[in-house]
Amino acid sequence: MSRPVILTCALTGGADSVHANPAVPVTPEQIANEGIAAAKAGATIVHIHVRDPKTGKASLELAHYREVVERIRASKVEVLINLTTGPGARFTPSDVDPVGFGPGTVMMSPEFRVQHVQELQPDICSLDIATMNFGEYAFVNTPPHLRRMAELIAKTRAKPEIEVFDLGHVRLAAELVSKGLFKAPPLFQLCLGIPWGAPATTEGMIAMKNLLPPDALWAAFGISRFQFPMVAQAVILGGHARVGLEDNLYIDRGKLASGNAVLVERAVQIIQSLGEHPATPDEARKILGI
């Protein structure tokens, strides 16, 4: 029998990508519609960031999350909802005083970063186990903040998706798992190709996979042109996969994707060509223990 592969679609992200592809959804209605379309195309999970409708920039506004979630739920489409908790950890040092905040810094408390999860009770929420250079700024998630966020998430119905970007992040996450901060089985997302984390290569994926706790479930994705090769590699290695406009704006070399659905359709083709099938939401719930 074929194996059910959980396919996540990351709908929009928070990067400054709206100008690069007009299909990147901005308003809550657009993001919800993209989620519904991705689900109909075969996505098991939709991973949700929100944006400021006026500027297209990343937003932390609870009302935007609420509108997206309510629209998807009202559609009656079968899909698991995954809300990010990544925003609120961006640090740029001041040129005048390195200890001070520079332009672009957005640092929020653990309580603030999970308030929308507490309020909206999604199926899943991401938890970034990462302090690293992230492009030109620092992405800061300290162990005390991670422990506090994990404790708060544990009081909701959401299963944490532990996002790791490099080998040290896997080691830290495994330590948190060993301390009982996550219900079994822990779910990991191996994030590959992000500057300056682990590369989107077979060797990078295997190295991170080999450090996971023995009972861990895992998925992986690569950004940009590595998106579809990493889908295939994750499936071959027994993991799950992710695609979406958050990670990649193109459907083919030089051809912009018209939306998330076409990226999901291509991933479904890859999964099926390898003899497996995209998991249904019910299959995913059983696999994830939710």
Q: Give the pLDDT of residue 1.
A: 82
Three-class DSSP category at 40: helix
Residues of the chain predicted below pLDDT 50 = none
Residue 189's pLDDT is 98
Alpha-carbon separation of residue 72 from 30, 32, 36, 76 (angstroms): 11, 6, 6, 7
pLDDT of residue 82: 98
Q: pTM score, two decimals?
A: 0.95
- Residue type (1 letter), 77: V
The reported pLDDT for the residue numbered 65 is: 98
d(CA 219, CA 240): 4
pLDDT on residue 267: 98
The pLDDT value recorded for residue 97 is: 83
| pLDDT number for residue 86 | 94
**pLDDT attached to residue 98:** 81
How would you label 272-288 residue by residue, b for 16+ Cβ within 10 Å and e otherwise?
A: eeeebbbbebebbeebb
What domains lie within the chain, and their CATH numbers?
4-288 (3.20.20.70)
Place of tokens 């559609």: 75
Burial of 63 (0-12, 13-18, 19+ CB in 10 A): exposed
* Per-residue pLDDT, 134: 85
